[in-house]
Structure 1
Amino acid sequence: MATVDECRQALHDLAARMDANADKVRKQVDLERTLACRITDLGTAFHGRLTGGRLVELADGDDPKAKIALSTTSDDLISLVRGELDVPKALASRQMSINANPFDLLKLRKML
């Protein structure tokens, strides 16, 4: 099981990669949404905002009003950020879940 600090670092790494590729990401999908990432095995969460192809304002804690909510385990989050976890398979096997409106899910699919 990964630690809270490892999960936080993984999300910051993801944000840095998205920032470096913001123009490409924005061309694929330009969302302006709040995001919550809930780590089920650690009982913790992080939140931020997707905007302009970037993941910004990452902070500890849940955002119950987030428009997009990802729930997964700490190890699966680490694998996801490293590119080792196939998102469609993880969703199909219920290793992770994404709660969002259907239109946002279609846009997110382009990123995944």
Structure 2
Amino acid sequence: MADAEECREALEQLSRNLSRSNGDVRKAAALDRSLTCWITDLDVTFTGRLRDGSIQDVTEAPGPPDAKAEIRLAMSSDDLVAMVGGRLNFASAWAAGRVKLEAGFRDLLRLRTLL
């Protein structure tokens, strides 16, 4: 099981990856939306903002999210680290129920290019 610091590092790497992306991925990541990522096995939530193609203003709090963000993710610590490290495909993990993604319909349509 990955720890909270490894999860924070994975989110920072994801943000760097998004900021270096091009084309459709860059366009999809250019949303300005609130974001939460609940790490279920650690029971910790990272909250931030997807803005200008990166994840900004990331904070950490114990427990599940206390507010409803526009984009909500939930997964285990190991799945987060594996996805960002390229060892786990997001779409496969989502289809298998290992990762939960909730967002508005329009955001889901735009985010599908990230999957």
TM-score, scaled to structure 2? 0.86
How is 1:30-109 mapped onto 2 (pairs within 5 angstroms)? 30-61=30-61, 62=65, 64-109=67-112
Q: Any idea what the Cα deviations from partners look like across 1:9-39, whole Å, max 9, x if unmatched? A: 1111111222333x64433453110000000
RMSD over equivalenced CA pairs, Å: 1.6
For residue 50 of structure 1, report the CA deviation from its aligned partner: 0.8
User: Aligned equivalents of 1:43 and 1:27: distance in 2?
Assistant: 32
Number of residues paired by the alignment?
111
- The answer on whether the counterparts of 1:47 and 1:59 sit within 8 Å (CA) in structure 2 is yes
User: Aligned equivalents of 2:66 and 2:86: distance in 1?
Assistant: 25
Structure 2, unaligned runs of 5 or more: none
TM-score, scaled to structure 1? 0.88
Percent identity, please: 41
- The answer on whether the counterparts of 2:29 and 2:54 sit within 8 Å (CA) in structure 1 is no
- Aligned residue for 2:93, secondary structure, equals helix
